[in-house]
């Protein structure tokens, strides 16, 4: 185990020790301080159908499915003192590529109304809606614009996060910064891949000015993605002197993630938009540019909305430097390398949503949504759109669902 691993193990053990000591204190004092313990929860039940048998989109295929985005979440918050609390959240997912279980477990310290510090397992604040990814009641759409929100491979981390907010005239300003690491599996093309991200940190700022909300964030981490076959092939190429192609087969390196969002809302309508950009130093990890814009009209208890989102995923493919026609062995290596490049195609996709939300009760909403999917050229199969063979690039996803908070 290297020094970084030792540091991470120490952080993880220390975090768990602090949280479990707090939980022990909770159990010990529960009978005399039940008012300090608060429970809440959220649930969603979503039925979807894709009108193309040759593709999948966000897990939905040509059959009627309830088991892709439905979930149930429970959260417990316990106040140890006026300034210290413990939060735990468990979520049960019906989707195969999301692990049910503990999603949040952290200790909060709020010495005043402006500052809050959290330590433990937390949601990573990449996006505008990061904190409410699973709580569909919190946003108008039935499914978040996937061309943007499907570009992050993980949504939690272990570490520390600090938040500081203040007001200035009619401005509300919020600063947030975090540091930690990720060590778990990610899912790509229906495969589990061991992934570690060291030196994970970021900062974001949110400004509210009357009806406008602006948010900008920067995030980065040094990723180590387990790609054993690619590593062995790269080592072979490097020994033969094809270092440029060997370097491109690297799946490890620094990843930077940028985000900006702008919202305008009043009682009658809203305009929401978000832009993200991911830049990677690793050849096998794509650079991604994405955005969405959405317009909505409120006529209580209904909300009618339309949105458009776009994703441009591209690799800096290194041209083949292995000569053909010299020997059978080099021909085989060159063909293998070209096959690897073909397995990592550039991928452009768009999605247009039309939807209706009905707030039937203050804590219960029903939604119906159509998403028109358009995928250009080849599909990488690592993100929302998957080509099952013969996909012409166009499909419609029909969904209805219920969103509940309690």
User: How far is 1 from 7, CA to CA, in rounded Å?
Assistant: 10
Q: Domain 39-405: what homologous superfamily?
A: Porin (2.40.160.10)
pLDDT single digits (tens) 107-162? 999 999 999 999 999 999 999 999 999 999 999 999 999 999 988 889 999 999 99
Task: Tokens for 404, please give them.
Answer: 């509940």
Closest CA to 274 of 57, 129, 171: 129
Closest CA to 373 of 59, 71, 125, 4: 59
- Per-position DSSP letters for 286-332, written without gaps between them: -EEEEEEEEEEEEETTEEEEEEEEEEEEE--PPPP-SPSSS-HHHHH
Task: Tokens for 202, please give them.
Answer: 């970021």
User: How far is 93 from 187, CA to CA, in rounded Å?
Assistant: 15
User: How far is 369 from 398, CA to CA, in rounded Å?
Assistant: 6
Task: Tokens for 133, please give them.
Answer: 């990814």
State whether the Cα torsion 7-13-15-18 is positive or negative. Answer: negative
According to DSSP, the residues that pair with 66 across neighbouring strands are none
User: How far is 305 from 294, CA to CA, in rounded Å?
Assistant: 7
According to DSSP, the residues that pair with 122 across neighbouring strands are 157
User: How far is 271 from 21, CA to CA, in rounded Å?
Assistant: 45
According to DSSP, the residues that pair with 306 across neighbouring strands are 295, 354
- Residue 66: its pLDDT value, please? 95
DSSP 363: T
Read off the pLDDT of each residue in 318-333 and give the average, rounded to a whole number.
94
pLDDT single digits (tens) 368-380? 999 999 998 677 7
- Residue 189: its pLDDT value, please? 63
User: How far is 329 from 77, CA to CA, in rounded Å?
Assistant: 63
The set of residues, in sequence order, having a beta carbon less than 8 Å from that of 348 and lying 6+ positions away, is 310, 311, 312, 313, 375, 376, 377
- Residue 34: its pLDDT value, please? 61
pLDDT class for 1, splitting at 50, 70, 90? very low
Instruction: Report which listed range, 20-34, 74-88, 142-156, 186-200, is most confident.
Output: 74-88
User: How far is 382 from 90, CA to CA, in rounded Å?
Assistant: 26
pLDDT surpasses 80 at 77: yes
- Residue 245: its pLDDT value, please? 95
Cβ contact 227:205 at 8 Å: no
Assign 3-state DSSP to the chain and report helix, strand, coil percentages, each to 5. Answer: 20, 55, 30
According to DSSP, the residues that pair with 310 across neighbouring strands are 291, 350
What is the residue-averaged pLDDT of the chain?
A: 90
Task: Tokens for 35, please give them.
Answer: 């008012």
Name the percent of the chain lying above pLDDT 70. Answer: 90
Whether the upstream peptide bond of residue 359 has omega within 30° of 0, thus cis, is: no
């Amino acid at each position: 185990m290297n020094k970084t691993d030792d540091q991470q193990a120490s952080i993880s053990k220390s975090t768990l020790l602090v949280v479990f000591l707090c939980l022990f204190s909770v159990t010990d004092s529960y009978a005399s301080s039940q008012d300090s313990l608060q429970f809440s929860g959220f649930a969603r039940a979503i039925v979807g159908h894709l009108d193309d048998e040759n593709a999948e989109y966000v897990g939905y295929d040509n059959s009627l499915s309830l088991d892709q985005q439905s979930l149930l979440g429970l959260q417990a918050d316990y106040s140890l003192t006026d300034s210290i609390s413990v939060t735990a959240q468990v979520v049960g997912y019906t989707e195969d590529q999301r692990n049910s279980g503990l999603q949040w477990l952290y200790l909060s310290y709020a010495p005043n109304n402006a500052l809050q510090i959290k330590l433990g397992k937390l949601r990573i604040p990449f996006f505008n809606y990061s904190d409410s990814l699973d709580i569909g009641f919190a946003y108008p759409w039935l499914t978040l614009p996937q061309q943007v929100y499907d570009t992050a491979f993980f949504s939690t981390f272990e570490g520390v996060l600090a938040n500081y907010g203040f007001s200035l005239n009619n401005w509300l300003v919020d600063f947030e910064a975090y540091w930690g690491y990720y060590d778990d599996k990610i899912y790509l093309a229906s495969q589990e891949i061991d992934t570690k991200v060291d030196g994970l940190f970021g900062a974001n700022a949110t400004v509210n000015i009357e009806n406008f909300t602006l948010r900008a964030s920067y995030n980065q981490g040094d990723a180590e993605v387990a790609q054993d076959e690619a590593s062995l092939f790269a080592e072979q190429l490097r020994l033969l002197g094809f270092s440029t192609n060997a370097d491109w087969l690297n799946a490890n390196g620094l990843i930077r993630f940028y985000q900006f969002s702008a919202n305008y809302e009043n009682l009658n309508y809203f305009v929401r938009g978000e832009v993200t950009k991911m830049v990677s130093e690793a050849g096998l990890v794509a650079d991604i540019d994405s955005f969405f814009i959405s317009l909505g009209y409120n006529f209580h208890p209904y909300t009618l909305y339309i949105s458009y989102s776009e994703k441009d995923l591209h690799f800096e493919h290194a041209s083949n430097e292995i000569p053909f026609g010299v020997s059978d062995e080099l021909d085989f290596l060159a063909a293998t390398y070209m096959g690897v490049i073909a397995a990592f195609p550039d991928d452009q996709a768009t999605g247009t949503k039309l939807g209706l939300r009905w707030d039937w009760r203050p804590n219960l909403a029903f939604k119906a949504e159509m998403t028109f999917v358009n995928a250009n050229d080849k599909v990488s199969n690592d993100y929302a759109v998957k080509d099952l063979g013969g996909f012409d690039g166009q499909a419609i996803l029909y969904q209805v669902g219920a969103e509940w908070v309690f």
